[in-house]
């Protein structure tokens, strides 16, 4: 039996444009954004992303915007403390978007992952190439159908460069 999910990290990483092409003299920065959106039923209630780093209840905390992908590992991180989450929240949707509109499938070494911090393990990892020519990716959802939170991998591409573009498309992932 595994312990209930309580404390998680949603991480997104990618390499800068031209990072795999040493001959590239100029580049257009690739700005990939991570977001965690909270819903009560089918109503959007809160978010943590690059323009709002912490949800109102403090349960979702974005650790800062990377606009280039420079650095190793996760370039954007959202920490989720389910013990702080507003009890009205029934679903958290994890989302990746390409702010400048690059196709996620063409982003070098792009990935997103969910880490169970309490267990100390990477629970799920998905390559951004799974999004193909889309500018957004619904990574997955956290829902609590019977008290404990359960993660469901979605991996569905969408056309969204910003959280505001994505919200109207997320209803199909809510219960």
Which residues in the chain land under pLDDT 50? 1, 21-26
State residue 19's pLDDT score: 53
Would you say residue 174 lies in a domain? no
Total number of domains constituting the chain: 1
Q: With a threshold of 0.85, does the pTM exceed it?
A: yes
Q: What domain range includes position 97? A: 7-168
State residue 25's pLDDT score: 37
Would you say residue 140 lies in a domain? yes
Q: What are phi and psi of 114, to 5 degrees?
A: -120, 125
d(CA 75, CA 61): 14
CATH number, domain of 13, equals: 2.60.60.30
State residue 22's pLDDT score: 41
Q: What is the dihedral of CA 62, 114, 35, 55, to 10 degrees?
A: -50
State residue 23's pLDDT score: 38
């Amino acid at each position: 039996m595994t312990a209930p999910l309580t404390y998680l990290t949603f991480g997104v990483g990618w390499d800068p444009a031209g990072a795999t092409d040493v001959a590239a003299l100029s580049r257009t920065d690739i700005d990939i954004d991570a977001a965690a959106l909270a819903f009560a039923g089918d109503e959007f209630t809160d978010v943590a992303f690059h323009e709002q780093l912490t949800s109102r209840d403090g349960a979702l905390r974005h650790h800062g915007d990377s606009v280039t992908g420079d650095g190793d590992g996760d370039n954007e991180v959202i920490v989720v403390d389910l013990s702080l989450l507003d009890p009205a929240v029934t679903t958290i949707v994890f989302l990746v978007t390409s702010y400048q509109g690059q196709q996620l499938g063409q982003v070098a070494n792009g990935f997103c992952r969910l880490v169970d911090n309490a267990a100390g393990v990477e629970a799920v990892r998905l390559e951004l190439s799974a999004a193909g020519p889309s500018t957004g990716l619904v990574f997955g959802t956290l829902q609590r159908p019977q008290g404990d939170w359960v993660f469901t991998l979605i991996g569905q591409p969408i056309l969204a460069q910003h959280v505001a573009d994505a919200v109207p498309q997320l209803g199909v992932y809510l219960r």
